[in-house]
Amino acid sequence: MTTDTTEVTTADAGTRTTADIGLLILRIGVGAAILQAGLIKAFDFSTTVGFMAEAGWRLPALAALMVTTAETLGGLGLMLGALTPLAAFAAIAPMVDAWAVNVSGVAFWSEPFNVPFLLGVGAVALLFTGAGRYSLDAGILGRPTWGIRLCVGLLIAAFAAAIVTWVALFGVNPIHFTAPS
């Protein structure tokens, strides 16, 4: 009795191809939305600085520069699948802070599924799945995925960067169980 490995190999290749196409679609969608947010801030930077100042951020120009740079480079990197772990790191941190802006006036679970939250989840998914075959990571580096330790470390670092940025430049804890007074 012999087994035909051709059928298994073809099935695996087909599954891999559809997964790579799915990753390409996810990368383009999440990356484009984050890139758009960064470019809107870049092209009207003075308004971004004014918004940060009006909201009470310390050093509003620095805060605006940080979020604009992270969203622009993170979004572009995700779209291209270029250094995907670093691009995801750059995208996750501002999405955590953007989510916090949306829920800071209420208990954090009252509006959990807003756009920054969902874009952040997409960036986290890409951090762990990698960019897939149709990416610069795979084409140039020959590496469509990255190690789990790197991914976990960058996820922790992204959350730490978001929290430190929020506390240092905004001065409050964004996560609370009841609406602030």
Q: Is 37 exposed, middle or buried (0-12, 13-18, 19+ CB in 10 A)?
A: buried
Q: 136, 68 in Cβ contact below 8 A?
A: no
Which residue ranges make up each domain of the chain? 15-170
Distance CA 4, CA 166 (A): 57
pTM of the model: 0.84
Give the closest residue to 153 by CA, choosing from 75, 96, 88: 88
d(CA 23, CA 20): 5
AA letter at 32: A
| Ordered per-residue pLDDT tens for the chain, 181 residues | 555 544 445 545 556 789 999 999 999 999 999 999 999 999 999 999 999 999 889 999 999 999 999 999 999 999 999 999 999 999 999 999 888 877 766 655 566 668 898 999 999 999 999 999 999 999 998 887 889 999 999 999 999 999 999 889 988 766 655 555 5
Is-contact 26 125, C-beta < 8 A? yes
